[in-house]
C-alpha cells in the first residue's frame, strides 16, 4: 500500500511536469499574449511592459524561470488581475468553488443514488421510466437553460431565492442545484446500470437464498459492487465540480474559480492559467488515485498493482 | 442365445442413450444456431420503448439527411422585418423559392440560372448531393415551403428550418466524435485492464497524465492556433475544416473516460471462470480480450455511449458560447439553445427560441437513452437465450 | 470505521459550507452598482478600462473634476488654475484642505512624483501617451536620450534610509558620448515592422554611455545582473538611463503650485487632468509597500472621496467614505459596492430584484421591451463611441477604394440600428460621433444599392462575379457582433452578390490578428478618451499604433499634425474636419453606428446625470430614502 502510494506520488510529479511543459508550450504558441489590449500600444511603451514581465527574454529562459518559481511554490502575479498573486486568487476562489461544489455533490449523490436504486429495483415499472426520463432531461438540458428557467420561476414568479450573489445559504441553493443536476442524472443512470448488473450475479442469488430481505441484500451486498461505475465517473467529475463551472458562476455572479479558468485562457493570463492548470491537475490526480484505492475497497477481486 | 440375451438390455440402453443424445444434440444445435446479434435483435424487438426510440432515431437521421429536399424556408436568409415573430400558422404553405415556371419571364435556362442564384442566396454553397436533393424538392413541392410555425429568431430566420439544418451538424458531431472516442477508448482500456502489471501501470499513468490536462484549455488553444492564417490556409487546402478538427479533438478527449471505465470492468471480469476457461482452451490474449471480454462490457459501453453523445453535443454548444464552435451562418442545436437562453429574461421571454431547440435536443437524447437501455438488455450475455 | 465514515463526511461537508459562507456575509452597501468585469488593479497609472475608472474615481482625485452633467472641468485638488495666452502654460493652485487619507496634505510635489512615475518606463503605463503633450514627456517615457543633453542615471545603490521600494541613487549629468552610437531617432518611423526588428536587434547591443557628472567623466554600462561587478572594459552598472526629468516641463515651485508646459496648444488638456490615469498616488505609500501590496486595503493611502475597505476577487470592491476628503459634506454614501458581474442578464436580474442601484448596460434583447414599457429608469443616452468595420487595405481587392466604397454603400445601417441594436443608436456615416461642440462631422455616403453595384462593377466585379470568395468578417465572441456580422453578410450578398464568410475569434486571438493585419474585414469600436475629435482621428495617421488597417495618407497625416499645432479652436476643428473628409472618402474603415449607453438607474438615486462619456462621479450622488422604501415595498 505504502509502496503503491509512493509510486503514484512519483507519477504525479511527472504528470505535473508534463502538464506544466505542455501548457507552457501551448500558451506561448497561441496568437495573442497577456499584454494584448484593445488599444494598441506604442512600440516603446509595449517594450517597457514586456521588460517588466520578462516577456522579452528567450523562451527557454522564461521556461526555466517559471519552472524554478513554481517549484518554490511561487506562481507569480496575475497579468490581468495585477493586484493579486496567483496564490491569493486561488486561495480566495477555491473555497468558494469548493463550497458550491460540495453542495452540488450533495445534490448529485443524494438525488442520483436514490433515483438509480429505486429504478433498478422497480425495473421496467412506471417509476423507473419516470425517474430515468427525468435523468435524461437533466443530461439533455444544458445547465444554463435550467438556470434560466429556475430564475424566472423561483426569483421572479415566486420570489423565494435571491437572483444572484454570494454570501449566505439562500444564495447557495439555486446554483448548487443547477450545478448538481446533470451530475445527479449521470449518477442515477450509472447506479441503475451497475445495480442491475450486480443483481444478476451469483453472490446476490446466494444472499437472497440465505433468506435475507431485499433491502438488506441491496444495501449490504449489491450496492457496494454497483458503485464501481459511479465511483469511476465521480472521481474525475469531483475535480471538475470543485474547480468551478463557468456557466453557473457567471449566471449567479459567484466569485469562484470557474470564471477565472476560462478567462485566464482566453485572455492569455499566463501565470494565472498555469496556476489553475496545476491546481486542476493535482486535484484530478488525487481523485483518480482515490478512485483506484476505492476499487479495492469496493471490489475484493481487484488488487492494487 | 445366452449371449444375445445378456446383450439385450445393454443394447437397449445404448439405443436409449443414443436417442437421448440425438435429441439433446438437436436441441443444442437449435440453440447454437442463434448468433449473439440475431438473439439481441429478437429481444430488442420485444421492447416497445426501445423500438420507438429506434424509430425516432432512424426517422430523425433520415430527415436530417433529406433536409434539402424538405419544403423548408431558408435557414440563413435574414429578414429583419419579421424578427422575433411568434409561431404562427399563417402562410402555412406559401411560395418561397423562385422556381422556373411557364408563366414567368425569360427562357428556361435563364430561369434556372435565376433559381440557382436564389438558392445560393438562401442556402449558401451546397455540395452535389444537396443540390440533387434540392432538385427533388422542387420537383415534388414546387416553390412552396412551410410557414414559420416555430417562429423566427432575432434576424427573422425561420426557426423550423434552422432546427433541421442544425440537426445535420449536431447529429454528425455527436455520433462521429463519440465513435472516435469509443474505438480508441475500448481497445486501450480493455488491453490495459487485461494485461495488468507493468503494462497496465504504464498505460494507465499515461491516461492519468493526459486526463490531468484541463481539456478546455487545450481545445481553446488548439483551435486558436489552427485559426492562424497560414495554418488555416494549409488545412483548407487539405479539406480539413473546424468541424473535422472538432471531431478529433473531442474524440481524443472523451476516450480517456471510456478507457478508464472499460479497464475497471475488465479487471473485475478477468478473474471470472469463463475467462479462465477460454485461457485453458488455449485462446490467445487478443482473442480473449476482444471475443470474450469486450462483449461482456457492452452494457457499460453502451450506457457510456448514450451518455457521451449528449455530452459531446452540449460541449459543442459550450464551445459555440466561447466562439469556437460552429461558425455562422451554419447552425447547430447547441448554437440554437445558446441563442434561446439569451432571450430568457424577466423582462421578456421569447419562449419559442428555447422550447423548440430544447424539445429537439430532449427528444433526441431521450430516444438515444431508451434505445441504449434496450440495447443493453438485449446484448447482455447473461440473458442470452432467455 | 466503516460506519463512522458517512457521518464524518457529512460533518466535514456541513463544516466546509459553514466556513465558506461565514466570511461571505456583508451587510448591503448604501449604494451598489454593477461594475461589469473585475478590475485589473487600482493603480491609476497602469489601467485603461471603464470598470477600473469607476473605482479609481471613487478612490483618487485629480487636479480637476468633471462636472457630473456635462463633464466640463471643475475644481478638484486644484481649486483654481490659470492658462497662459499662448495656451501652453498651465499653472494649478492646489487647494490647502486637500488631504491624503492618512491626514497628510496633498502637495504639488505629489503630482510631480506621480507624473514622473506615470511616465517612467519601469511603470509600463499604457495610457502614458496622454501626458505626451507635456514638453519633454515623450522622450522621457521612451527613454530616448541624445548626446549633448542632460540625462539622469539610476544606480542599483540605494540611498540611506530609503523606503523598501524607493528608486536607487540618481545621478544627473550631460551625456557626452555613446559607444556604439545611437541609431537616428526619426520621430515617425517609415516601416513599423522593420523598425521593430531593428530595435529588437538593438536591444542586444549593450552600449557604454559616457556622462559628465559634476565636471567628472563617468562611464556606464548595463549588465544582465544587478549584482555584476564592473567589468574591466569599464563602466559602472546602472538600472535606468533616461533623459533628465528636470527637462520635462512639470514643476512644483512651491507645495501649492504646479506648473505644466505643453508642446502644442492642446484644448482638451485641462479635461485630461481629470482623466483617471493622471490621478496622484501617495509616494510614501507606494514606496513603503512594493507593488502590488500598496493596493491592499490595509496599506492604500488615497485622496479621493472614498477609501478602500475590502476587495473580494470577482465579487466586489467595497468603498467607505474618506473622512479626510475636502468635500466630505458632499459625500452622501457611507459605503459603496462595485460588483464585478459579467453577465448582463444577471446584472439585470439583480437590478430588478433591488440588489443593485445602477447597471451600466442591459442585454440588447430586452431593450425594445423596456422602451415599450416607458420606464422612468431606462433612458438610452448617446455615448461618445463609434461601431465600425476595419478593412485591411493591404489585401486585394480591398486595396481598391472603389471596392471599399461599394461595401460601405451596400450596408443598410438603418436596418442594423432598427432591427438589431434597437436602443436608439444612430446610423453612423462618420467616424467621429455627434455631440462634440464646435465640430462638424465629415459624412460618407449612405445606403444605395444601385450605386454600390455600379461601384463594384467599376472595380471589375460586375454582379460580384470574380470577387474572391475567401473574404471574411472577423469579430470577437459576442451575440451582438455576431448578429450584426450576419446581417451585413446577408446585405452584401443581397446587394453586391458577394460571398463573405464569418470568423469568430476569442478576444486575445481577435486582437492579435487585427494587429498583424491577419484579417480582411473586422468589427471594431472606439470610445473617445476625451471629448474632442482628435481622440478618434489621430488613430489613422500612417503607422499609428491603432491604425491596424495598413492605410496611410500623407495629406491626412499633415492635417492631423497641423491641427495639433493650431491654437485657434475654429481653424483647428476645420483641419480635423478636412482630415475626416479624406478618411470618409477613402474608407479604410466603414462606420456602422454611434453608440448609445443603455444604463438603468433607480429613480430614487439623485444627482445622477446621463452624459456623453458615461462617467458618473459619486460626489453629490444621494439616495432619497423615502422613495427607496416605497420602491422596495412595491417589489414585495
Check if B343 contacts C (Cβ < 8 Å).
yes
> Closest to A162 (Cβ–Cβ): which among C199, C341, C353?
C353
| Chains within contact range of chain C (3+ C-beta pairs < 8 Å) | A, B
On whether residue B188 sits in a domain, the answer given is yes
Looking only at the bridges linking them, the beta strands covering C335-339 and C316-321 are antiparallel
CA distance C586 to C239: 47
Contact C345 A164 (CB under 8 A): no
Give the residues across from A109 on adjacent strands: none
Q: Name the minimum distance, in Å, from the CA of C502 to any CA of chain B.
A: 6
Q: What is the CATH number of the domain that holds B229?
A: 1.10.3720.10
- How sure is the predictor about C198, in pLDDT bands with cuts at 50, 70 and 90? very low
DSSP for C315-353, please give it: TEEEEEE-TT-TTGGG---SEEEEE----HHHHHHHHHT
Task: Identify the residue whose cell numbers are 412551410.
Answer: B146
Q: Which residues of A touch C59 (CB under 8 A)?
A: none
Give residues with Cβ within 8 angstroms of C188, minimum separation 6. Answer: C542, C543
Whether pLDDT at B200 is above 50: yes
Asked if residue C249 has pLDDT above 90, the reply is yes
Q: What is the mean pLDDT of residues B366-385?
A: 71
* Least Cα separation, residue B344 to chain A (angstroms): 6
Q: Assess if residue B363 is contained within a domain.
A: yes
Establish if B306 belongs to a structural domain.
yes
pLDDT surpassing 70 at residue B349? yes
Q: What is the ipTM of this complex?
A: 0.87
What cell does C418 get?
432598427
- Cβ contact A19–B222 (<8 Å): no
Average pLDDT over residues C554-564: 93
pLDDT at residue C464 in the model: 85
Whether the pLDDT of residue C273 is over 80: the answer is yes
Query: A151: which chain C residues are within 8 Å (Cβ-Cβ)?
Result: 349
| Residue B86 distance to chain C (closest CA, Å) | 15
Q: Which residues contact C605 (CB under 8 A, 6 or more apart)?
A: C31, C357, C358, C621, C622, C623, C624
Distance from CA of B235 to the nearest CA of C (A): 14
Average pLDDT of chain C to the nearest whole number: 88
Q: What's the CA gap between A269 and A33, in Å, rounded? A: 8
Average pLDDT over residues A92-114: 87
pLDDT digits over C587-633, tens only?
A: 999 999 999 999 999 999 999 999 999 999 999 899 998 888 888 88
Asked whether the predicted pLDDT for residue B170 surpasses 80, the reply is yes
Asked if residue B89 is part of any domain, the answer here is no
Tell me which chain C residue has its CA closest to the CA of residue B321.
C477
Grid cell at residue A69: 518559481
The answer to whether residue B58 is domain-embedded is yes
C-alpha–C-alpha distance, residues B5 and B8, integer Å: 5
d(CA C573, CA C268): 13
Residue A25 corresponds to which cell in the numbers above? Answer: 508550450
Q: H or E stretch including C388? A: strand C381-391
Note whether A23 contacts B257, CB cutoff 8 Å: no
Nearest by CB: A32 against C342, C350, C512: C512
Is B83 inside a domain boundary? no
Q: What is the pLDDT of residues B16-71, one digit of tens each?
A: 778 887 777 777 666 555 566 677 788 888 888 888 988 999 999 999 999 988 88
Q: What is the least distance, in Å, from the CA of A15 to any CA of chain C? A: 28
Read off the pLDDT of each residue in B167-182 and give the average, rounded to a whole number.
Answer: 86
CA distance C523 to chain B (A): 15
Position C23 scores a pLDDT of 56
Which one of C10, C20, C526 makes the best mutation probe of the A interface by having the most chain A beta carbons within 10 Å?
C20
What mean pLDDT comes out for the span C462-474?
Answer: 87
Measured distance CA(B114)–CA(B138) in Å, rounded: 14
Give the pLDDT confidence score for residue C337 in this predicted structure: 94
Which of B294-308, B343-357, C496-510, C532-546 is most confident?
A: C532-546
Q: Is the pLDDT of residue A259 over 90?
A: no
Q: Is B132 a member of any domain?
A: no
CB contact (8 A) between residue C292 and residue A98: no
Residue A7 grid coordinates:
509510486
Give the model's pLDDT for residue B141. 87
What is the reported pLDDT for B18?
Answer: 80
Residue A35 has what pLDDT? 79
What are the cell numbers at C19? 466556513
**Alpha-carbon gap: A91 to the closest alpha carbon of chain B (Å):** 20
Q: Which of A14, A29, A247 sits opposite B225 (nearest CB)?
A: A29
The answer to whether the CB atoms of A136 and B369 lie below 8 A apart is: yes
With cut-offs at 50, 70 and 90, classify the pLDDT of residue A3: confident
Global confidence as pTM:
0.85
Name the grid cell of B332. Answer: 447547430
Contact present, C415 and C408 (Cβ < 8 Å): no
- Chain mean pLDDT for chain A: 83
Q: Which chains touch B (3 or more CB pairs under 8 A)?
A: A, C
Distance (Å, whole) CA C517 – CA C506: 16
Phi, psi dihedral angles at A261 (to 5 degrees): -55, -50
For an interface test with A, give the residue of B214, B249, B313 to mutate (most A CBs within 10 A).
B214
Q: Taking CA atoms, what residue in A is nearest to C313?
A: A255
Domain boundaries, position B322: 49-63+157-383
The residue with cell 451600466 is: C360
pLDDT tier at C199, thresholds 50, 70, 90? very low
Q: Give the mean pLDDT of C309-313.
A: 91
Cell numbers that stand for A270 in this block: 499566463
Q: Is C472 on the interface with B (CB under 8 A)?
A: no
Rounded to an integer, what distance in angstroms lies between the CA atom of residue C268 and that of residue C279? Answer: 16
**pLDDT single digits (tens) B113-158:** 888 888 887 887 788 888 889 888 888 888 888 888 888 888 888 9
- The total number of structural domains in chain B stands at 1
Give B-chain residues touching A261 at CB under 8 angstroms.
214, 216
C25/A168 CB distance under 8 A: yes
Residue B44 located in a structural domain: no
Closest Cβ–Cβ partner in B224, B342, B348 for C509:
B224
Neighbours of C199 (CB within 10 A): 14
**Lowest mean pLDDT, pick from B69-83, B316-330, C54-68, C112-126:** B316-330
pLDDT (0 to 100) of residue C286: 93
Q: At what angle do helices C449-458 and C479-496 cross, to 10 degrees?
A: 70
Cβ C577 vs Cβ C439: under 8 Å: yes
**Cβ(A43)–Cβ(C545) below 8 Å:** yes
Average pLDDT of span C552-579: 93
Partners of C506 on chain A (C-beta within 8 Å) are 266
Residue C4 is predicted with a pLDDT of: 58
Distance in Å, alpha carbon of C261 to nearest chain A alpha carbon: 22
Highest mean pLDDT among A44-53, C77-86, C508-517: C77-86
DSSP C127: G
Segment 182-241 of chain B within 8 Å of chain C by CB? 220, 224, 227-229
Residue of C nearest to A262 (CA): C506
B386 band by pLDDT with thresholds 50, 70 and 90: very low
Residue C558 pLDDT greater than 70, yes or no: yes
- Asked if the Cβ–Cβ distance from B369 to A132 is below 8 Å, we say yes
Amino acid at each position: 500500500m505504502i509502496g503503491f502510494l509512493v509510486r503514484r506520488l512519483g507519477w504525479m510529479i511527472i504528470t505535473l511536469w508534463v502538464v506544466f511543459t505542455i501548457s507552457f508550450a501551448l500558451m506561448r504558441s497561441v496568437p495573442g499574449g497577456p499584454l494584448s489590449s484593445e488599444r494598441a500600444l506604442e512600440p516603446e511603451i509595449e517594450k517597457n511592459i514586456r521588460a517588466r514581465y520578462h516577456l522579452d527574454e528567450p523562451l527557454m529562459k522564461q521556461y526555466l524561470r517559471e519552472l524554478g518559481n513554481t517549484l518554490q511554490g511561487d506562481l507569480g502575479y496575475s497579468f490581468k488581475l495585477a493586484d493579486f498573486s496567483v496564490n491569493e486568487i486561488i486561495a480566495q476562489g477555491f473555497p468558494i468553488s469548493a463550497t458550491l461544489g460540495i453542495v452540488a455533490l450533495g445534490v448529485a449523490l443524494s438525488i442520483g443514488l436514490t433515483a438509480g436504486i429505486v429504478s433498478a429495483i422497480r425495473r421496467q415499472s412506471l417509476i423507473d421510466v419516470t425517474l430515468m426520463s427525468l435523468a435524461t432531461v437533466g443530461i439533455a438540458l444544458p445547465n444554463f437553460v435550467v438556470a434560466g428557467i429556475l430564475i424566472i420561476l423561483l426569483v421572479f414568479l415566486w420570489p423565494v431565492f435571491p437572483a444572484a450573489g454570494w454570501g449566505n445559504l439562500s444564495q447557495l441553493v439555486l446554483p448548487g442545484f443547477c450545478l448538481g443536476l446533470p451530475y445527479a442524472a449521470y449518477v442515477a443512470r450509472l447506479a441503475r446500470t451497475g445495480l442491475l448488473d450486480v443483481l444478476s450475479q451469483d453472490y446476490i442469488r446466494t444472499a437472497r437464498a440465505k433468506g435475507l430481505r431485499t433491502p438488506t441484500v441491496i444495501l449490504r451486498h449489491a450496492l457496494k459492487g454497483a458503485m464501481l461505475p459511479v465511483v469511476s465517473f465521480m472521481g474525475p467529475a469531483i475535480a471538475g465540480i470543485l474547480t468551478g463551472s463557468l456557466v453557473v458562476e457567471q449566471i449567479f455572479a459567484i466569485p469562484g474559480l470557474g470564471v477565472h479558468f476560462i478567462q485566464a485562457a482566453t485572455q492569455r493570463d499566463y501565470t494565472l492559467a498555469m496556476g489553475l492548470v496545476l491546481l486542476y491537475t493535482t486535484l484530478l490526480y488525487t481523485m483518480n488515485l482515490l478512485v483506484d484505492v476505492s476499487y479495492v475497497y469496493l471490489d475484493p477481486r481487484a488488487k492494487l498493482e | 442365445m445366452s449371449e444375445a440375451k445378456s446383450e439385450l438390455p445393454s443394447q437397449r440402453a445404448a439405443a436409449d442413450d443414443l436417442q437421448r443424445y440425438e435429441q439433446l444434440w438437436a436441441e443444442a444445435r437449435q440453440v447454437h444456431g442463434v448468433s449473439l446479434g440475431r438473439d439481441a435483435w429478437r429481444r430488442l424487438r420485444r421492447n416497445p420503448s426501445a423500438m420507438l426510440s429506434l424509430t425516432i432515431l432512424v426517422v430523425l437521421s433520415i430527415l436530417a439527411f433529406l433536409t434539402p429536399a424538405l419544403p423548408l424556408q431558408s435557414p440563413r436568409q435574414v429578414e429583419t422585418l419579421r424578427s422575433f415573430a411568434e409561431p404562427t400558422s399563417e402562410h402555412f404553405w406559401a411560395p418561397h423559392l423562385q422556381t422556373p415556371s411557364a408563366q414567368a419571364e425569360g427562357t428556361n435556362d435563364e430561369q434556372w440560372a435565376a433559381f440557382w442564384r436564389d438558392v445560393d442566396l438562401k442556402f449558401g454553397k451546397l455540395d452535389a448531393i444537396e443540390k440533387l436533393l434540392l432538385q427533388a424538392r422542387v420537383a415534388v413541392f414546387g416553390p412552396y415551403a412551410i410557414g414559420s410555425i416555430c417562429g423566427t429568431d432575432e434576424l427573422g430566420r425561420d426557426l423550423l428550418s434552422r432546427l433541421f439544418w442544425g440537426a445535420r451538424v449536431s447529429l454528425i458531431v455527436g455520433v462521429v466524435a463519440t465513435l472516435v472516442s469509443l474505438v480508441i477508448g475500448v481497445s486501450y482500456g480493455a488491453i490495459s485492464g487485461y494485461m495488468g502489471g507493468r503494462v497496465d501501470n504504464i498505460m494507465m499513468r499515461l491516461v492519468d497524465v493526459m486526463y490531468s490536462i484541463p481539456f478546455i484549455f487545450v481545445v481553446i488553444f488548439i483551435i486558436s492556433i489552427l485559426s492562424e492564417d497560414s495554418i488555416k490556409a494549409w488545412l483548407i487546402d487539405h479539406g480539413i475544416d473546424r468541424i473535422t478538427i472538432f471531431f478529433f479533438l473531442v474524440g481524443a478527449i472523451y476516450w480517456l473516460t471510456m478507457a478508464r471505465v472499460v479497464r475497471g470492468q475488465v479487471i473485475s471480469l478477468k478473474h471470472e471462470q469463463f475467462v479462465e476457461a477460454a485461457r485453458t482452451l488455449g485462446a490467445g490474449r487478443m482473442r480473449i480480450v476482444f471475443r470474450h471480454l469486450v462483449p461482456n462490457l457492452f452494457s457499460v459501453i453502451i450506457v457510456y455511449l448514450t451518455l457521451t453523445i449528449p455530452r459531446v453535443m452540449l460541449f459543442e454548444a459550450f464551445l459555440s458560447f466561447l466562439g469556437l464552435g460552429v461558425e455562422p451562418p451554419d447552425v447547430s442545436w447547441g448554437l440554437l439553445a445558446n441563442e434561446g437562453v439569451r432571450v430568457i429574461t424577466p423582462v421578456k421571454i421569447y419562449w419559442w427560441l428555447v422550447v423548440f431547440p430544447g424539445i429537439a435536443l430532449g427528444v433526441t437524447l431521450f430516444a438515444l437513452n431508451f434505445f441504449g437501455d434496450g440495447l443493453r438488455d438485449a446484448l447482455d450475455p447473461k440473458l442470452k437465450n432467455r | 470505521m466503516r460506519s463512522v465514515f458517512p457521518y464524518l463526511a457529512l460533518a466535514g461537508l456541513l463544516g466546509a459550507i459553514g466556513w465558506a459562507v461565514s466570511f461571505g456575509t456583508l451587510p448591503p452597501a448604501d449604494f451598489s452598482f454593477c461594475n461589469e468585469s473585475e478590475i485589473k488593479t487600482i493603480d491609476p497609472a497602469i489601467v485603461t478600462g471603464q470598470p477600473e475608472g469607476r473605482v479609481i474615481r471613487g478612490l483618487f482625485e485629480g487636479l480637476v473634476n468633471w462636472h457630473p452633467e456635462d463633464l466640463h472641468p471643475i475644481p478638484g485638488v486644484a481649486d483654481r488654475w490659470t492658462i497662459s495666452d499662448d495656451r501652453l502654460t498651465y499653472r494649478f493652485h492646489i487647494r490647502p484642505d486637500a488631504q491624503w487619507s492618512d491626514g497628510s496634505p496633498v502637495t504639488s510635489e505629489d503630482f510631480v512624483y506621480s507624473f514622473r512615475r506615470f511616465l517612467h518606463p519601469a511603470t509600463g503605463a499604457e495610457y502614458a501617451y496622454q501626458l505626451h503633450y507635456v514638453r519633454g514627456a515623450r522622450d522621457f517615457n521612451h527613454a530616448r536620450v541624445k548626446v549633448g543633453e542632460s540625462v539622469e542615471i539610476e544606480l542599483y545603490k540605494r540611498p540611506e534610509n530609503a523606503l523598501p521600494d524607493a528608486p536607487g541613487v540618481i545621478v544627473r549629468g550631460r551625456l557626452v558620448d555613446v559607444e556604439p552610437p545611437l541609431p537616428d531617432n526619426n520621430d515617425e518611423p517609415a516601416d513599423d515592422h522593420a523598425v521593430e526588428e531593428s530595435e529588437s536587434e538593438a536591444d542586444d547591443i549593450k552600449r557604454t554611455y559616457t556622462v559628465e557628472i559634476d565636471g567628472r567623466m563617468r562611464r556606464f554600462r548595463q549588465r544582465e545582473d544587478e549584482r555584476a561587478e564592473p567589468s574591466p572594459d569599464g563602466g559602472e552598472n546602472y538600472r535606468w538611463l533616461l533623459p533628465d526629468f528636470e527637462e520635462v516641463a512639470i514643476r512644483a515651485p512651491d507645495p501649492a503650485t504646479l506648473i505644466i508646459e505643453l508642446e502644442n496648444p492642446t484644448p482638451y488638456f485641462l479635461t485630461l487632468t481629470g482623466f483617471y490615469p493622471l490621478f496622484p498616488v501617495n509616494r510614501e505609500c507606494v514606496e513603503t509597500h512594493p507593488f502590488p501590496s500598496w493596493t491592499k486595503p490595509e496599506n492604500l493611502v488615497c485622496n479621493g472621496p472614498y477609501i478602500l475597505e475590502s476587495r473580494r476577487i470577482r465579487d466586489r470592491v467595497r468603498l467607505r467614505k474618506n473622512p479626510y476628503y475636502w468635500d466630505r459634506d458632499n459625500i452622501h454614501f457611507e459605503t459603496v459596492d462595485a460588483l464585478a458581474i459579467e453577465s448582463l442578464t444577471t446584472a439585470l436580474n439583480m437590478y430588478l430584484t433591488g440588489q443593485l442601484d445602477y447597471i451600466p448596460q442591459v442585454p440588447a434583447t430586452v431593450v425594445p421591451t423596456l422602451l415599450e414599457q416607458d420606464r422612468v429608469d431606462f433612458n438610452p443616452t448617446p455615448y461618445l463611441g463609434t461601431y465600425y468595420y476595419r478593412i485591411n487595405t493591404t489585401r486585394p481587392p480591398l486595396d481598391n477604394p472603389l471596392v471599399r466604397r461599394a461595401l460601405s454603400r451596400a450596408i443598410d445601417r438603418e436596418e442594423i440600428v432598427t432591427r438589431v441594436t434597437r436602443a436608439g443608436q444612430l446610423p453612423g456615416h462618420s467616424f467621429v460621433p455627434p455631440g462634440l461642440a464646435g465640430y462638424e462631422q465629415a459624412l460618407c455616403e449612405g445606403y444605395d444599392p444601385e450605386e454600390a453595384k455600379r461601384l463594384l462593377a467599376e472595380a471589375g466585379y460586375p454582379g460580384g462575379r470574380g470577387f474572391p470568395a475567401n473574404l471574411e468578417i472577423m469579430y470577437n465572441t459576442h451575440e451582438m457582433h455576431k448578429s450584426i456580422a450576419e446581417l451585413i453578410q446577408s446585405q452584401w450578398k443581397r446587394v453586391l452578390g458577394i460571398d463573405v464568410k464569418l470568423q469568430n475569434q476569442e478576444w486575445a486571438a481577435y486582437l492579435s490578428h487585427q494587429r498583424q493585419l491577419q484579417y480582411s474585414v473586422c468589427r471594431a469600436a472606439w470610445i473617445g478618451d476625451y471629448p474632442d475629435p482628435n481622440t478618434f482621428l489621430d488613430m489613422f495617421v500612417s503607422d499609428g499604433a491603432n491604425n491596424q488597417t495598413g492605410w496611410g495618407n500623407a495629406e491626412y497625416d499633415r492635417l492631423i499634425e497641423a491641427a495639433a499645432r493650431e491654437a485657434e479652436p475654429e481653424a483647428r476643428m476645420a483641419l480635423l474636419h478636412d482630415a475626416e473628409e479624406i478618411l470618409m472618402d477613402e474608407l479604410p474603415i466603414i462606420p456602422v453606428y454611434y453608440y448609445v449607453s443603455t444604463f438603468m438607474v433607480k429613480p430614487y438615486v439623485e444627482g445622477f446625470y446621463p452624459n456623453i462619456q458615461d462617467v458618473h462621479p459619486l460626489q453629490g450622488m444621494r439616495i432619497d430614502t423615502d422613495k427607496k422604501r416605497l420602491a422596495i415595498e412595491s417589489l414585495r
